[in-house]
Every structure is written in structure tokens, then in C-alpha cells.
A and B are shown apart, each in its own frame.
Chain A
Amino acid sequence: MYDAVIIGAGMSGLAAGIRMAHYDKKVCILERHKMIGGLNSYYRQGGRNYDVGLHALTNYAKKGAKTGPLVRLLRHLRMKWEELALIPQIGSSVAFPGMRLHFTNDIAHLEAEIRKKFPSQIDGFRRMIGELADYDQLGLGASGGSARQFVSRHLTDPLLIEMLFCPLLFYGGARENDMEFGQFCIMFRSIFLEGFSRPYNGVRLILQKLLDRFKRLGGELRLRSGVRQIVAKDSTARKIILDDGSEIEAKNIVSSAGWRETMNLCQVQQHSPQIPSGQLSFIETISVLDTQPKKFGHEKTIVFYNDSPVFTYKKPQQPVDLRSGVICSPNNFAYDKPLGEGMVRITSLANHDCWVSLDEEAYRLEKHRAYDRAVESAVRFIPDFRRHVIDTDMFTPLTIRRFTGHENGAIYGAPEKKYDGRTHLDNLFVCGTDQGMVGIIGSIVSGITIANKYLLGGNL
């Protein structure tokens, strides 16, 4: 009998596992795949290392900082700042037709941009920051309401509003075109107030640190161990049945599988329709280059682009929405020495159903087509890098579904979140994306918070 079984060895599951193992609990993480990481992972292909998921870590904090999500993460995992050695971004931008807003990890830069380019909006922008900074982003309290309504109380220029929403939706929007107010505060702070960074060795470094810590504390990880069912009696989860039919008992279960996905494991049909499924999915193209991006004039860390004044963040009708996207170059962080190879990653909205309907050959062809068209669209906003491409790869909504288990390949999960992490069973909790925390830091904090609140604190 385990003290806790955790479903999923992604960022949130590993973090919850570390907390449990640190306090001498008998804990096991079950992972369906042969790799850890879930949405954020890495692989090797053709002699190269690729990252998936992570473009950048948000919530950057300098060494010595004493507050904020990154600090909480480091404290509760007993990690030193140096272990992640986060390198801040160089600078990013939001590019719309005829207008660019540049920002860095210092909000003063974005304020100066808005003062220059949207002079009538600067007072409202400052007022808005003051108000959202008060929101307790680390609490578990839900806070409903529309972010667009909140923003429209402070800003009146529709173009500026669209340009501010664009990065936030791309990096954490689980519902179409709008966000919940609480989610907006978390995302705004994580991107514009704290900002982007990356460890030199990317997501693999973070995952390896987490896994190493978990195992050294005596935690058990079972790969290729998908969960088929959570069996409950009365209002308590009694056992877990794995895909291979074997059974595991645990006092508590923490699931990072997603809210609806966890309800499906419980075979609770009446709960699932209460939360609609997420619909927003992405493709991502990865281009390996024969040179560093700055050599051909591309020095931005991340560029969020949209080719019309209105940004549409919803499930497209066709395989890929080519009108907008995110361009990230992992080379463009302030490293002491450059990364070995140049790389450009482009992410755009995609329709899961279109990709699912294709047979194997059509899927392969559509991937090539989508790669070409996504890159063609992106080079309207950054220097054309196509002559430098020496290798490519790409993921689709199917890849996301496969590695996250999320219905519809919904990258940020369900449109409504379960902030308190509780379920209809008294010893089953959800953590990760559907608990309402997004991004790598958010996911890790989610795992920590759920473990602390229900599995460690509850036993005091």
C-alpha cells in the first residue's frame, strides 16, 4: 500500500512526488510512456537533441530573489537557484500589422513602448498592472470573470488589447479568445512582469533534476504503466488498475491526467459533461539551422505574430491557422557561450479533428505541407531563414494527445479549471494543467501545492 500514487510523470507529477518522498512517504509515479515529461519532454533524432513543449520558462527571478513562484518552487523542492541556472531572454516582441511592441524581463521596457506607441493608454496600463499585481496567484481560490472585461476597464485601444492578449493566450489560454480573470493575472505576471528564461541545456536539464531528486529521496517511478481505471467504493478511491491489468493500492491518488480524463478513469460519466473539453491545440515546426539566428539578423527570443488587427484565438476550421503564431529561437537567450546549433521553432493553432481524420500517408504529407506553410507565414515577421535549414521536425495535435493524454490534443486542458484540486472522491486530487496552473513553473507549483495542502498538511 502506497501513501500516494501519482498519475503522470510530467512536471507537476514529479514535483508532487518529490514533496511526498521528501517527507518519507511511500510514493509511486505511474507514467504511461517510456519517457518522463509529458507535454514538456525531449528526444534525440538524427544525432540531435530536440526539446518539445518548453519555449521558455516564465516567472524568471534573479538569484537571491525571495518571493514569487520560482522562489517557491526552489524552496519546496530544496533546490538551489544555480541548479537551474536560468538564463534570461534577450528580448521578445508582439508583431501585428504596422505595430510592434518589444518587451524584456523588465516591465519598464514595455511601459516605455506603450508610452511611445499608445500614449493615450499608458495611465490605464499602469493602473491595470497595479490592480492585477494584488491578485494572489499562489492561492487556490478560484476567481471567475472575464479577463477582457477587466482589461477593458483600463484600456480602450483595441489594437493594444489584442497585442497584450496574444502572448498570454498562446502561452496558457485554455478557452477561446478570452481568459478567466485569475488566469490572466497569473499569465500577465509570469510573462510581462517576471519574464522568460531558459536553462542552457533546456527542458532536459529540468526534468533530469526533478527525476534525480525524486529517486534519491526513495521515490519509485514506473514507466510504461498507464492507468486504465480508478476503482472507488463509497466516496473513496480504493485501487488503481493499470493497462496490463495489475492493481495498485494507495491511500491517496494525485492525477495529472486532466480533469475530464481523470473522471473518465473513475468511469464517472455524470461528472464529465459538467466541464466542456478543451479544443485548443497546436502544431509546432522545428527548423535546425546551419548558423546562429543572429547571423541573419534575428535576435528576438520570442516573437508573437498576428497578420490582422484582431487576434483570433480559437480552434481553426482547417488543419492549421496560419494567420498567427509564436516564433521561438532557443539561441536567443543571454548565454555566455552560444548553443551548438541554430534553431527556430514556430507554433500555430491547429485543429485536432482534421489531423485525426488523416490516414498515415495523408498525415505525413500534411505535416510537410503544414511545415512549409507555417514557416512561410512566420518569415513575414522575422528574417527569412529558409536557406539555412539543415534539418526539420514537427509535432501535431496528435503528438500532443499522445504524450499528454489530453482529449483533443488540448494543450492547456479544459477551459474551466479545478482550482482547489478536489474531486468527488475524498482521496483523489488533480494537479497540473487542469488545476489551473500553466507553464513549467506553474505546473511544478501545482504539484507542490496539492501535495502540501492535501497529502502532507492534512495528516498533521
Chain B
Amino acid sequence: MTNEEIRQAVIDILSDISPEEDLENLDDNTPFRDQLSLDSMDVMDIILELRKRYRVNIPEEDYGKLDTMTNTVAYLEPSLKEM
């Protein structure tokens, strides 16, 4: 997957979890939690969806690295670029 495809994969998950959010105007460098109404259970849901869809396992200590879109794509890139 290219980085653009990874970004779209994350957007797809966000839009499935939270269809009422405005994702078109998401700023990739601003933390998700400052733009979206996501609580800790939603964050866990995103991680579960990544595991379900792309078989990426994200250890709990890394959750904090998924704070912005840019950081999330960078974190996922090594796991997903060969897919």
C-alpha cells in the first residue's frame, strides 16, 4: 500500500465508526482528538479494525503514536507497504 492508500484505509475505518464526523476537512497534523469526538473506546475500535482488516497488531504502549493522521500513516507504513 502507498501512504495515500494507508491514509484512505484509516479514513474508511473512521467513517465506518463515526459516520457523523466531517472527515473531508481532517487536518493530518492536528491530533484526532482535537478534531473528532473520539473517546478511548473509539480509539480501541480503530485499532481492532486495523487488526481485522490488515492483520496489524499494535501493542498497547504504541497507541499514543497514533495521535495524528500523519503519525498514524508513518506508524503503519512498515507493516502495510508490502500489502
Please list the residues of chain A having a beta carbon within 8 angstroms of any beta carbon in chain B.
23-24, 63-67, 71-72, 75-76, 78, 80-81, 138, 449, 452, 456-457, 460
In the bound complex, CA of A65 to CA of B20 (Å): 8
Can you report 28 A-B residue pairs in the complex whose CB atoms are below 8 A from each other? A23-B48, A24-B52, A63-B20, A64-B20, A65-B20, A66-B18, A66-B20, A66-B21, A66-B37, A67-B37, A71-B37, A75-B17, A75-B42, A75-B45, A76-B41, A78-B16, A80-B19, A81-B20, A138-B39, A449-B41, A452-B41, A452-B44, A457-B44, A460-B47, A460-B48, A460-B51, A460-B59, A460-B60
Write out the residue numbers on chain B whose beta carbons fall within 8 Å of the beta carbon of A76.
41, 45
In the bound complex, CA of A72 to CA of B45 (Å): 11
Query: Which residue from chain B places its CB closest to the CB of A63 in the assembled complex?
Result: B20
What's the least CB distance linking B50 to chain A, in Å? Answer: 11
B1 in the interface, Cβ–Cβ < 8 Å? no
Write out the residue numbers on chain A whose beta carbons fall within 8 Å of the beta carbon of B19.
80
Write out the residue numbers on chain A whose beta carbons fall within 8 Å of the beta carbon of B44.
452, 456-457
What's the least CB distance linking B56 to chain A, in Å? Answer: 11
A460 and B58 contact, Cβ closer than 8 Å, known pairs A23-B52, A66-B20: yes
In the bound complex, CA of A224 to CA of B81 (Å): 49
In the bound complex, CA of A144 to CA of B45 (Å): 30
B25-49 interface with A by 8 A CB criterion: 37, 39, 41-42, 44-45, 47-48
Q: A63-B20, A66-B20 are in contact. List 14 more A-B contacts (CB 8 A).
A: A23-B48, A64-B20, A66-B18, A71-B20, A71-B37, A76-B41, A138-B39, A452-B41, A456-B44, A457-B44, A460-B48, A460-B51, A460-B58, A460-B59
Query: Which residue from chain B places its CB closest to the CB of A78 in the assembled complex?
Result: B16
The answer to whether A72 and B41 have CB atoms under 8 Å apart is yes
